[in-house]
Amino acid sequence: MNNDFEALVRRVAAASAASDLLQPPISAAELAGAERDLGFRLHPLLAALYRKAGNGGFGPADSVLPLRGGPDENWETSAVQAYQDRIPPEGADTWWSWPKGVVPVLDWGCARFACVDCHSEDGTVLLFDPNAIGDQDLSRAWFVAAGSLAEWLVTWLDERGRYEEDAVDGGFGRTRWADAASRMRSDPAAG
């Protein structure tokens, strides 16, 4: 585990220890398999959380999705499955596009997800909210929830965030993710 994240991972684990939703951490082999299925490595902090805090059930509302695992009474999907479900099949003729490397980690309901950009150095946390747009331009449905995964978690730990209200505000007053259009593509085989 990256030493920069050890204290934060311990804080998250301690804050979530009493949660009925907290699942046991995953093994290194399970992490490697999930990353193989995704086609990229998770952000190091997100990987450390799954390895040391638990396989879901931690974070805001004790509701971070399990990395892998099937539907159960607590979650309809896993982070890996939620990502794979949003990537159009190669060669599909669709207007739908999802940015590569952006993993849904928390389902806010009503098609809204908190996601971690695993291709950004800081693990930017994004809110995907298709309800905030009136057209099919999905690049406008992306908002920056936090500049980094660490910032998002510290805000939750310090009880400075009201994530449930933020998630349902329809995107008003939010900063749109500037890289959304360039990171989304209609041809999944391209880049």
Q: Set out the domains of the chain in order of their start, with CATH numbers.
A: 3-183 (3.40.1580.10)
Lowest mean pLDDT among 18-32, 38-52, 175-189: 175-189
What is the rounded average pLDDT of the residues 96-115?
A: 89
Per-residue confidence (pLDDT) for residue 30, from 0 to 100: 96
Measured between alpha carbons, how far apart are the two ends of the chain, in Å? Answer: 29
Q: Report the DSSP pairing between strands 125-128 and 102-109.
A: unpaired
Amino acid at residue number 6: E
Which is higher by pLDDT, 32 or 63? 32
Over pLDDT 70: what percentage of the chain? 81
pLDDT tens figures, 146-178: 999 999 999 999 988 655 444 444 444 578 898
pLDDT tens figures, 46-55: 999 999 999 9
Per-residue confidence (pLDDT) for residue 133, from 0 to 100: 81
pLDDT tens figures, 48-100: 999 999 999 999 888 899 998 765 656 678 999 999 988 877 766 666 678 98
Per-residue confidence (pLDDT) for residue 162, from 0 to 100: 56
Q: Which of 78, 69, 10 is nearest to 45 (CA)?
A: 10
Over pLDDT 90: what percentage of the chain? 51
- CA–CA separation, 174 and 183 (whole Å): 19
Residue 102 has pLDDT above 80, yes or no: yes
Neighbours of 12 (CB within 10 A): 24
Average pLDDT of the chain?
83
Q: Which of 66, 96, 97, 93 is nearest to 82 (CA)?
A: 66
